[in-house]
Structure 1
């Protein structure tokens, strides 16, 4: 915990900055992208030497809907902070007024990043491809809100195949949330060895239906999970009952109408 104490001089100020381990950025003051925040963090990298976690876009719906939050290129941040362990981003990846939108370019290797979270109304296939090209040997937690095509979520199961095939070998939590093609993910993931290493598999806020859940039930490796999250999908009560018979924790929560093909939180 950071100890609060009076700052009497520049030396005390620099020492206080060096103790900061996490920074959270909410609503910025203009309608442009987060590039100004990224640039400021990069410029401060020689001072914020102990920074381990960054969240850009801690903005609630009452302040701003998720899709109009304009993000930018996060690779410079990863390059500037080789000891960063957690990166969380909330917002859209649509280019804005000539800006690039959410991006991870160029591809790079980061030795320490353990958690990457991207919450979006829709992640483009280009952004997912860029994430898959990152060399993240320590990554244990990956959460992607895939979203809908109306808000830039134009990815498909083919874009996720590097993840499902094990491009991040140390993953313990995989959240492919808010997906408009949850069944396709289920059909592919049950034929991958990635499940054998996971602790939690999270399909929440998507449109998983009984066919996809049936594939999960028929996969022996699912029983090696600690937690399967299928909340806020399109499952029938009959399927929920069957899933609850698994010898693991199943989070089912409320379900949408069975014929609802839309993911949640897409705006």
Structure 2
């Protein structure tokens, strides 16, 4: 009992002290009439230290579905590996018909017309010569003109041909008839062969080796070292002569 009274007295003194510190007037703290009866509740004490965090509580109920977000396409990813080839597709339908090719036909006809016109022009020039003879696909023509071998080449080129050169026996005999008919066989006209590049190796005016020759026995002999162009005599045999001599020129052209 004495201990309880001491405790109550101590509490009253602490309360009075706290009120003095706060500047408040001390309250009338008369003890009750009877010992052991609880007194008036005192002021709240100072707040204690923060306690430790408690355990996580239970999950609450699921919320309502939110509004749909904005649709934004993300960046393309890396290309994956090629897959196996697919099955062969069905054959496609027939396409529209192509052009009739009439333009190509017209172009071909125009080209042929130009070629024919060029041939006609050559024939007209050749026909104007005094002597004109058709031999197979060739035409021989002459007009009694004499010139050097080089000038003869130019003369024949100007009318669309070259100096005459028989390629076989038929052409050689046809040329001989022209010589006889024109009266120039004794003058040994030039034929289109020369060995001016390589001595003893006669070639035609295009530089090609000869496939047909009818040389007179012992010819060509390059007499005095100045005979490098071919000629034909009254018998149809060939000889070599001086390229700078003035001799009859006979031209030929292909049709």
Q: Shared topology, TM-score over 0.5?
A: no
- Alignment TM class, shorter chain as reference: under 0.3
The higher-RCO structure (CA 8 Å, 6+ apart) is 2
Structure of greater Rg = 2
In the superposition, the TM-score normalised over structure 2's length comes to 0.25
